[in-house]
Structures are given as C-alpha cells and as structure tokens.
Homo-oligomer: A and B are copies of this chain.
Amino acid sequence: MSPGGGRSGTLTDVAGLKVGHHERRTDGWLSGTTVVLGPPEGVVASVDVRGGAPGTRETDLLRPGALIERVHAIVLTGGSAYGLSAASGVVDALGADGIGFRVGPEPGAIVPIVPAAVIYDLGRGGDFSCRPGPADGVAALRAASDGPVVQGSVGAGAGARAGGLKGGLGSASQVVGDGWTVAALVVVNAAGSPVAPDGSLYAAAYLTDAVDAALARAPRVDPSLLAEAQAMALAPSMNTTIGVVATDARLTKAQCARLAMAGQDGIARAVRPAHLLVDGDSIFGLSTSRAAVPDDRMIDALLAAAADCVSRAIGQAMLAATSAGSLVSFRDLADRQVARGG
C-alpha cells in the first residue's frame, strides 16, 4: 500500500470534479448538503448500495445495462428521505443552466441526471423539521469549487454521528501506477464505530502524512473518555455511511460499479460493525474518462486504491469532525487526554 496523496489529498484531485457544501447549524438546525459536480458533459457513474436502510434517488439508472452512462452531479445530504428534495433543487438549477442529458432537439429537452443518497440526521440540531430542501441543494451546488475539499462537520456531514461520537465528512486521494488518480469523499454517520475499543481509529493505518500532525498527537483516545462520550450521545436510531469514489481513468459503467463495490470494502475496514440493517451505506463510483488504462491489472490497482481512499476518508472525517451539542468529536477527546497528560 502506497497511500501518497494527490495535490490536495481530496476528491478534487480528480480533474474535472468540483465539490460544494452548504450546512445550517443554528435555530434547531444541524444538517447540510454536499454536491459533487462533474463537467457539463457529465461523468460515467454507477453505484453500490449495501446498507439495509438506504435512502436514494436515481440509482436504478446507474445499474449496468441501463441506458444512461453519465451523471451531471451526485448529491449527498442530511435530512433522511425528506432531504432527497435537495437533489430536486440541484436538478432544477442544472436544467435552468442547460446542463443535462439531451432527450430532443428542443432547447428545454434536457434532463439533468443527479443521483442522490441521504444520511439520517433528523433532530440532531433539536428540531426534527429542520432538514435540507431544494434551496440547500442549490446553495451547495453554487458553492462547488475545484479547490481542496473542506472536511469535518460540514455539508452533508454537518449533523453526522458515528459510533456515538460526532461524525463528519472526509476525503482522500491517491496516485496509482503511471499517474492515475483515485479519490474518495465519505460522509460518516455509521451505526458502528470508526473507533476501536482501545481508542484508536480503525482507519489509522490508512492515514497519510497530511494528517499525521493530528494523528501523532493522539494516535488513540482514552477508552474511558471514549465510553463517557458515547454514553452522552442520544440513543442511536437510523444511520448511514455514504460517499463517492472517483478516478480519472476511463472506466465503463460496469467498472464504475466495481469501483463503488471496492469502496464498500473501505467502509468494512474502517467501521465496525458496518453495513447493518439500520445503515444505508451507499457508494457512487465515478470516472472522468481522461484516458484508458493499459490493462486489467491497472483496474485492479484502482480498485484497491478505492478501498484504501474510502478508509482514509473515514479516518479524516473523524479527525476533522467538531463537537456539536451532546456529540463529542474524536479530536476533542484527544485534546482532553492531552490536558489530562494522557
């Protein structure tokens, strides 16, 4: 395993992809939306849904064998099933911009393809009716940039919780072989825990130098502090880890499905238990089709990197998350340990 991050070590290292966040944290809110935006012609895409309680939109067309090859954006959002309306805002906005799948010669005959997945974060800010809608989706779309992805309790990760701690959104990238980029963006809201009983992150082995400053300071948190923080968290209800794995290598739609499947292994390694009935774990696989890879061995190298990037993104999400309400962040636990001289 050669982690080696790309330029920023985040999803936007895959040239052509932009990421935008929007979240609300006051007046009963603790939720948000993240949009992964492709170039106007779209990106080849598929999906793998492995959780028992998914909340999704436009995933049937992503299955190999279906007509549509390219999507224009992926929406990841809080708000459970209600939050899927954020994707409708993005569809309307892209359609107004003239971006979409052309279905006829008329000017308005375009349909933006915007698959989406949600996390359950209802009530995390105190008010169950505060959940992202169309305007939040549009705000995330308009914020999209190709700069380094902002990580932590932002965008769709604003209200996330994982294993009784504050969850969030993380991203990672890796250069494979002769300059191929693989990257992941993950919203960690799992029923299971990214933190082992000994206080270390399951993803620790996947974290690169970029975050080592924090990691070196707190390779693990005190198990008793961990248990204390977990006891403070509200009773678990529904959960989900959702995300995107992308590469600039030219993949078929079916290969994008395999890329997404590989990403699920990254969840399996970084969260225990994972893929439960109360998780909606869903990973989208994207290809920006820069150039064809030389052979199947390189595809397999991309798949291995996809799994590693997802694990690393989960670790990054936990390190970057910030405490909110009764949900304590891993970082805050580490700081408390330092304060205690642990």
Contacts and interface: CB of A to CB of B under 8 A. Distances in A.
B80 A277 contact: no
| Copies of this subunit | 2
- Count chain B CB atoms within 10 A of each CB in A61, A92, A106, A123 and give the residue with the most: A61
B123 A60 contact: no
A109 B237 contact: yes
Interface in A96-125: 103-104, 106-109, 111-114, 120, 122-123
Nearest to A234: B104
A67 interface: yes
A85 interface: yes
Interface stretch (A51-59, A177-185, A249-257, A305-313): A51-59
A164 B49 CA distance: 37
Contact of A113 (B49, B81, B120): B81
Contacts of A55: 58, 61
A103 B122 contact: yes
A286 interface: no
A122 B111 contact: yes
- Interface size class of chain A, counting residues whose CB lies under 8 Å from the partner chain: 35 or more
Given A81-B91, A282-B60, A122 B134 contact: no
Interface in A162-186: none
B53 A56 contact: no
A95 interface: yes
Contacts of A189: none
A341 interface: no
Contacts of A213: none
Given A120-B103, A123-B106, A53 B81 contact: no
A339 interface: no
A91 B292 CA distance: 43
Interface in A126-147: 127-129, 133-134
A88 interface: yes
A291 interface: no
A124 to B, nearest CB: 11
B54 A60 contact: yes
Contact of A128 (B85, B106, B134): B106
A222 B85 CA distance: 47
Contacts of A76: none
Contact of A109 (B52, B57, B128): B128
Given A59-B56, A237-B104, A277 B123 contact: no
A66 interface: yes
A65 B51 CA distance: 9
A53 B66 contact: yes
Contact of A53 (B67, B85, B104, B129): B67
Contacts of A282: 60
A87 B58 CA distance: 13
A327 interface: no
5 contacts: A60-B282, A104-B123, A104-B237, A108-B122, A111-B122
Interface of A: 49, 52-61, 63, 65-68, 80-82, 84-85, 87-88, 91-92, 95, 103-104, 106-109, 111-114, 120, 122-123, 127-129, 133-134, 235, 237-238, 277-278, 280, 282
